[in-house]
Chain A
């Protein structure tokens, strides 16, 4: 519940905001909506870099050791007149994953939409700690600059894979990269501090600043997802930070946490990394699940099916995510009995994911479905998540994992889950763009963008399952070095073509985004006829968000309620006695 003192203090600050200059409005802003937009733009810029790296890798895999177009400007020893050095290939996939996970999906969903949505959807004027919020963004910026700068130090960027397994990562001589890895570590430690500041803020805000009447089970599911994500971040990131510090000490100060010659253990890194790494998967995917729940309900014009089951399944995912990390390590040399234990916990974590999928289907059933751009992307997310979830079962089975571990089957799986999140990201962007920027995005272009993205996404990632079944290892830069992979090479070509088309399709989005930003149709308050509180604020909402703090009377998904004639019933709408009588 909102504390009266906090609200008053924020209201007072709101008045001052009106007089703020350019710098305090757009750069060092403490307004959660501006910080959300800043994170959004940061992640879109990083998405371009991450995507370009993927394109270079795909060229290399389809036509190994040929000249990669448009790259002859990259100097030696990374590219030899457009011919890629294998070490540079390793740097590309390492940085592609690092950027996409830490600098695209996390800032977009958690930093961007987490910031933008939490105060608006719980009926607060801002975050609990606005200055901490600003610091969180301005800590993420140097982390982003450092990680990109690591390409320009001698030896180039980190090339040990985003998992940075010791001992390859623990000694410069093993991977041939010295300061690149150090900067990678330092950048992620800084980014971890940024995320910690954000997560403390989110948790405090959700617990303390909900509008009157906004009980826990009237919270929109996307707020549930962001709240659970923030708790996971708070608990998982310190583990990564500790592991990164140990790795940095091994590299620079002669400790031997992970180096066996001094009594260290390479497997310790894997345990620490995946103890962070598996909750991280849910940090990435939970907000997309929350977004999908909002959008499916809104555009089915129907209450979400099984609200409590949806909330509790996310809580279950969060708890279980702490005890499945060993499924990344079945062939690592870990005790096989431990492998069995982790396999069983992994089988259990598949259950809440199944519950979510069936409840999404239940939401569609009996609806009055509007096929808008955000709805299409949300449906695309569900479709990809089903494939990514089901392909995870193969890896969970220890004997099958022996064969598919470290193959493209895994690459297919985590791209369906993690790259599939981009459908959740686009869904969120198309859905809340009117609220964020006060203008509508073009629907026709949105639908074209969806169709192209959906087709080429599946064209790029589904055949990776076939490669994996064929035994194609991940992280190799020339598949033709292996005789048993020759018959599979045409799939690599097919995947590369699809990936190029996927990349080019995004120009439709870029055009739509920037064109709509300046010339889109002016958005009304509630263009989608949705129930949640952000739609009761103006588009875009001013500082302080609401003219008066709304009072919440019901849950967020009262679509097609018999109480009212229209098919939506906002959370803050007070019904007169005649509506109460109608229900009896």
Chain B
């Protein structure tokens, strides 16, 4: 089943996928156990002349057993998930690459801070549905919405976060492989929801420099863009 997963190009996606696989094995085992037992019982204990069903009202030891085993498995799974969740949501990495993405019916409005690294300054650049980021660096996303709830979904980066009107939600993602990845909107946002999408271009350091130079030609000579100071 999991072979249908889209290619993962993020550093943290492997952890999410392995959790996915882990749950897959547990649930598949539980499913097979229950189904096989059910089929065996249905065949073995099908109605036959002269047979009488076993008269029993249950078994306390079994009840305790099948309460405790699922409880331990589920709670364990909960803590395994918590570790990964904290890594994604609590321990947000430091980065100087930031973009602001604003959902609006039915486009992703992308704002780059420009060489000064600050939003709401003169060198901000705004485009629709087109995000360019350097490969191998965490990218901070400031998610906003102008109208309704949208959801910023990067299937190949195992990333999804709703953009909520009236709020600024800070999130981060990272792509470790250059390429072009789709950004669908995952939350119903109106009649144009289907088809609301953008593209994420993950650029090699050289391509990224070239792109920065074409976008901010004056700044490239005056000072290096903030985004490359650590590269």
On whether the beta carbons of B53 and A366 are closer than 8 Å, the reply is yes
- From B2, which residue of chain A is reached at the shortest CB distance? A469
Q: Is A391 an interface residue (CB 8 A)?
A: yes
Q: Is A146 an interface residue (CB 8 A)?
A: no
Q: Which residues of A contact B57 (CB under 8 A)?
A: 303-307, 557
Q: Is A213 an interface residue (CB 8 A)?
A: no
On whether the beta carbons of B38 and A361 are closer than 8 Å, the reply is yes
Stretch at the interface among A67-75, A137-145, A351-359, A498-506: A351-359
Q: Which of B159-209 contact A (CB under 8 A)?
A: 159-162, 164-167, 169, 182, 184-195, 197
On whether the beta carbons of A174 and B105 are closer than 8 Å, the reply is yes
On whether the beta carbons of B38 and A379 are closer than 8 Å, the reply is yes
Q: Which of B14-60 contact A (CB under 8 A)?
A: 15-16, 19-20, 23-24, 26-27, 30-31, 34-35, 37-38, 41-42, 45-48, 51-59
On whether the beta carbons of B182 and A397 are closer than 8 Å, the reply is no
A491 CB, min distance to chain B CBs, angstroms: 9
Report the separation of the CA atoms of residues A54 and B169 in the bound assembly, to the nearest whole angstrom. Answer: 35
- From A465, which residue of chain B is reached at the shortest CB distance? B1
On whether the beta carbons of A400 and B55 are closer than 8 Å, the reply is no
On whether the beta carbons of A167 and B155 are closer than 8 Å, the reply is no
Q: Which residues of B contact A383 (CB under 8 A)?
A: 35, 38
- From A405, which residue of chain B is reached at the shortest CB distance? B160
Count CB-based A-B contacts (< 8 Å): 285
Contact partner of B16 among A351, A361, A362, A402, CB < 8 A?
A: A402
On whether the beta carbons of A400 and B82 are closer than 8 Å, the reply is no
Q: Which residues of B contact A89 (CB under 8 A)?
A: 194
On whether the beta carbons of B89 and A336 are closer than 8 Å, the reply is yes
B108 CB, min distance to chain A CBs, angstroms: 14
On whether the beta carbons of B165 and A90 are closer than 8 Å, the reply is no
Report the separation of the CA atoms of residues A238 and B187 in the bound assembly, to the nearest whole angstrom. Answer: 27
Q: Which residues of B contact A167 (CB under 8 A)?
A: 147-149, 165
On whether the beta carbons of A302 and B54 are closer than 8 Å, the reply is yes
Count of B interface residues, CB-CB < 8 Å: 85
Report the separation of the CA atoms of residues A559 and B45 in the bound assembly, to the nearest whole angstrom. Answer: 15
On whether the beta carbons of A333 and B161 are closer than 8 Å, the reply is yes
Q: Is B88 an interface residue (CB 8 A)?
A: yes
B39 CB, min distance to chain A CBs, angstroms: 10
Report the separation of the CA atoms of residues A458 and B166 in the bound assembly, to the nearest whole angstrom. Answer: 42
B230 CB, min distance to chain A CBs, angstroms: 26
Contact partner of B23 among A332, A393, A402, A557, CB < 8 A?
A: A393
On whether the beta carbons of B58 and A306 are closer than 8 Å, the reply is yes
Q: Which residues of B contact A305 (CB under 8 A)?
A: 56-59
A538 CB, min distance to chain B CBs, angstroms: 27
- Assess A366 versus B54: contact at CB under 8 Å? Given A176-B191, A266-B164, A309-B63: yes
Contact partner of A174 among B26, B84, B190, CB < 8 A?
A: B190
On whether the beta carbons of B66 and A358 are closer than 8 Å, the reply is yes
Q: Which of A379-437 contact B (CB under 8 A)?
A: 379, 382-383, 386-387, 390-391, 393-394, 396-400, 402-403, 405-407
Residue-by-residue, is B123-158 near A (CB-CB < 8 Å gives 1, otherwise 0)?
A: 000000000000000000000000111010101101
B3 CB, min distance to chain A CBs, angstroms: 8
Report the separation of the CA atoms of residues A359 and B38 in the bound assembly, to the nearest whole angstrom. Answer: 11
Q: Is A246 an interface residue (CB 8 A)?
A: no
The 6 closest A-B pairs by CB, nearest first: A260-B166, A366-B54, A336-B89, A471-B155, A306-B58, A87-B191
Q: Taking A168-B188, A466-B4 as given, write out 6 further A-B residue pairs in contact, using a Cβ cutoff of 8 Å, ordered by the A residue number.
A: A261-B166, A339-B89, A361-B37, A368-B53, A403-B155, A471-B155
What are 9 A-B pairs with beta-carbon distances under 8 A?
A167-B147, A266-B166, A306-B58, A350-B70, A369-B46, A379-B38, A466-B4, A476-B193, A481-B195
